[in-house]
Chains A and B, each alone.
Chain A
């Protein structure tokens, strides 16, 4: 039990469902090394052709923003409505804009 806790690290798994789409996070798993993580991810997350490509990333390597989704971290984008196309009034009869 302790060996497991100290040992087999946690990996996050990302699957590209098909060509043209981004890799998407699907879950996590424990593995002793990168290669084993990749094989386990294949067996665990793509048993029914869910993917054409896999990434496994040690969870410890991920840097995340703070947990709260209402965090002031995202405040800079909150008050800049002029970044959106609908901010601008364009007459109805101007074509293709």
Chain B
């Protein structure tokens, strides 16, 4: 064994010890290449999701039914942008560049959450996204606050604090619609029917088809399996649906006394595969919109730079 190999082993041993002791890995620490690559991929995908996630709801900004709803929706979209930026900043601590990540998103080389490839057909979708999509996101994200990589964990703490507003405004919006007319109640039920299964798919493929999970759990990036988180989400959501007075579109949904949990049906995994591989209802439109925003903004980035340069040289 050469000296460098030995030191690599020592470094890896130290890294493992820090992770095992529930301490945090910080940006300039030595870390295995695969740990770094996994984090870059996951954090970038997460950041992209926040940014793309502004689009489905942004669709309703100009048509919100009241100034109150419009102000709330605007604040929510602004939060999503903020979350994207916290996460890009966390990814940059790993030695990648935000511009490079954006380039990978708009060229289709990096992904974002499959959920944002579904269309928002009515204003009830805004409520259901807050309730179910942000609810599922919270289930996924709360454990990430204890992720072994410090900057990611810290970004997640900020995000989770803000995410609760998103879920509650959605649920309140739906309660308001449910107190309205029959057609408003039908609108809510229709939105729930369309978003329920895609929300369950947000937790990823079933455990026996999730090849990278075990390694991410060993590295304490991931804390719970996809299926565990999905179950947790279902158990949280069923009583909320009852309170709201909507039906979750799953005939297999029933209380299991023994497990102290809700049994539920199997999502259509072929649909998830299709949406992930670019064949969802809105994939092309979402990426195209992001590309246009990026390219249309190029002159602003250049002008700001030229202005800063001019001020510097005038000093």
Contact = CB atoms under 8 A, between A and B. Distances in A.
Interface of A: 1, 3-5, 7-8, 10, 26-30, 32-33, 36, 43-44, 47-48, 64, 66-70
B171 interface: no
Contact of A3 (B86, B89, B302): B302
B131 to A, nearest CB: 21
B155 A47 contact: no
A10 B305 contact: no
Contacts of A4: 97-99, 301
B12 interface: no
Contacts of A7: 301-302, 305
A43 B84 CA distance: 13
B155 A3 contact: no
A28 B89 contact: yes
Nearest to A30: B98
Contact of A32 (B90, B97, B305): B305
A4 B303 CA distance: 11
A8 B92 contact: no
Given A32-B308, A33-B307, A33-B308, A5 B89 contact: no
**Most A-side CB within 10 Å, residue of B27, B103, B308:** B308
Interface in B15-64: 26-30
B311 interface: yes
A8 B82 contact: no
B209 interface: no
Interface of B: 14, 26-30, 75, 78-79, 82, 85-86, 89-90, 92, 97-100, 102-103, 154-155, 158, 162, 298, 301-302, 304-305, 307-308, 311
A47 B301 contact: no
Given A5-B97, A48-B162, 15 more contacts: A1-B102, A3-B301, A4-B97, A7-B301, A8-B301, A28-B89, A28-B92, A29-B85, A29-B89, A32-B305, A44-B86, A47-B78, A47-B162, A67-B29, A69-B26
Nearest to B298: A3
Contacts of A44: 82, 85-86
18 contacts: A1-B99, A1-B100, A3-B298, A5-B99, A8-B304, A8-B305, A27-B155, A29-B85, A32-B301, A32-B304, A33-B307, A33-B308, A36-B304, A47-B79, A47-B162, A67-B26, A67-B27, A67-B30
Contacts of A26: 158
Contact of A27 (B26, B89, B98, B301): B89
B193 to A, nearest CB: 34
B8 to A, nearest CB: 15
B19 to A, nearest CB: 14
Contacts of B103: 1
B270 to A, nearest CB: 36
Contacts of A64: 28
Nearest to A50: B158
Contacts of B298: 3
